[in-house]
Amino acid sequence: MRISQEQALQLVKDKENDFGKLYARQDRDADFAKRKKFTITDDKGKAIPKCFNVTLPKAANFASRANSILSSSNERVVIEGQGLNDKVTAKIENFYNDSLKIADDFAPRKIGKIFTFTAGQANLRGRVVRKVLVDISEEGFLEVRIQPWDARFATYDFDADGTAWAACPFTRSQAMIESEYGIKTNAKTGKIIDFCGRDEEHIYLDGKHIKSLPNPSGEVPVAISYTSAGLPFFDTEMEENLGESIFWQVRDLFDEANRIASVAMTLHVGSLFPPVQKPYQEVPNEQPPSPYGGTMTTVPFRVEDGPYTAFPRADLYQATRFIWSLIDSHIQQGSFSTIEFGTLNFPLSAVALEGLAEGRELVLLPGLQAISNAELQTCLLIKHQFIALGKTVEIRGKGKRASYSPKDIEGDYSISFKYFTGSRKYALAGIAEAQQIGNLVSDDYKRRELIRVENPDEEAEKLMAEKNPFIMLYRQCEGLVEREQWAEAWMARIQLMNVLKSQLMGQPVEEEKQPQSVGGGIPLFAGAPSKVGGRQPGGISAEETRKGAAVEETEEV
């Protein structure tokens, strides 16, 4: 059903009202990330005077680290389909990888890499919204434009066929409005609303319709993805509780931590400049001046009535310590452990590192799923729009040139994504596990599941080539020829010929000895050091230790 200009603007206004609680939640999360100043209040919500407010960076540190981990992930497109050989899948994977790289080139400078912006949206907004357009330039090059939308301001709705429409407001400068939309305005800035429907795209400037563009694809060119964090309830608060951010389990505890820190700071300052009392025959109507100056409190009292008795300060400190330990432990349970920030000065065992990795993955996995789903929708939109163009295009980049046609990406296949983090700490933990597990599983399993190598098949081929002297020498020759190092290539060729002659004459080829591991890595368990390759970390084997013990017993006898 076609959506008119008037209907589109009204749909946006109605949906903004429906998203009111969702926007309030996202605004509160943004305040945590931006370290908005905390103010301690009473039970009526009024600021308590003469308190020393403290704003802890716990929420901001958590958000910053989560964004850094997620945005530094390496993404791989994986194509699988029945009857597709490696050459076909590699061609399709290269097309989508190249398309996403082209989109980064067209992305606004303020955003930087689209994946980085998407990671922040998934973590802090709980949702990912982006507009995807594919076109061909006059020179015949592919143009992929991915416009990330801030989920805090985006509006959208769904029907039985998927996304019914999506819109997002933007604040644009006068120059941007004239260059992007060809409209002259006297105002320095203007509010643009981009409304995308299945049939048309409507553009509004400060609430007035200025342009409509046809949408030949027949689908809304906007990818919308939710994180899996939140509550799966179909109640009146469903929209607010779906697609939660990384703060959703500890959102209220950050304010409590700031409150405790503010109380403690007020007590500490109060111990330096404690409230004083001054006796009067009659209590004056005005506050007596403080002997310290400033706004410190002086409490007047009648001599006949006697002074007030203060609450024991030691009890306040003890209660504050207890509440702080309770709040802080629950914050760590719902976010990152303090150990994750590198607070320990001693190494952890592999099992302990695996436990930390699992806890971190449980926090980041909902956002990673939202990113993966958004990338999947993006690739499908790119596929549909590129096939509809029906032309062969070229992709030209730094050190790369390729061409693609619609036939290259047609057909039925599944698109999935794999993500890898470059954390050496957790890679070393996987290596320790792989060493301990021995020959119980294959080397391929160790690379994929324990060490989690990004390209396990490629690494297996490299290892095989390194162990085989013929393949190793042949590839050395190839590399030297490509670099036009002819003298070195000739010497490597002579060595390869000698090795082949020795093999033909029945002489054994002496293989290069691989150095044995002598330990010194991450132990599998805490406590006693684990044995690696049958040797202790000091380089002494278990058999040598037993022999030494037997000699000592003989000498004692």
Average pLDDT over every residue of 302-321: 71
Contact in structure between 100 and 448 (CB atoms under 8 Å): no
pLDDT at 364 over 50: yes
pLDDT at 545 over 80: no
User: In which residue are the tokens 């619609």 written?
Assistant: 406
Give pLDDT, residue 293.
55
Average pLDDT over every residue of 312-324: 80
Half-sphere exposure of 322 (CA within 13 A, CB side): 6
pLDDT at 429 over 90: no
486-507 per-residue burial string, b: 16 or more CB within 10 A, e: under 16: eeebeebbeebeebeeeeeeee
Structure tokens at 515: 């150095």
Give pLDDT, residue 486.
84
450 against 526, higher pLDDT: 450
Q: At what angle do helices 251-272 and 20-33 cross, to 10 degrees?
A: 40
pLDDT, tens digit, for every residue of 338-349?
A: 777 666 555 655
Average pLDDT over every residue of 272-291: 68
Domain limits, the chain: 5-33+76-244+360-418, 454-556
pLDDT at 286 over 80: no
Query: What is the DSSP code string of 309-332?
Result: -PPPHHHHHHHHHHHHHHHHHHHH
Average pLDDT over every residue of 203-230: 93
Read off the pLDDT band of 436 (50, 70, 90).
Answer: confident
Average pLDDT over every residue of 296-320: 68
pLDDT at 394 over 70: yes
pLDDT at 62 over 60: yes
Q: Maximum CA pair distance of the chain?
A: 120
Read off the pLDDT band of 434 (50, 70, 90).
Answer: confident
254-268 per-residue burial string, b: 16 or more CB within 10 A, e: under 16: bbbbbbbbbbbebee
Which H or E element spans position 463? helix 456-467
pLDDT at 257 over 90: yes
pLDDT, tens digit, for every residue of 519-533?
A: 445 555 554 444 444
174 contact partners, CB below 8 Å, separation of at least 6: 185, 187, 188, 189, 190
User: In which residue are the tokens 């390496």 written?
Assistant: 74
Is the Cα dihedral 313, 316, 322, 324 positive or negative? negative
Read off the pLDDT band of 31 (50, 70, 90).
Answer: very high
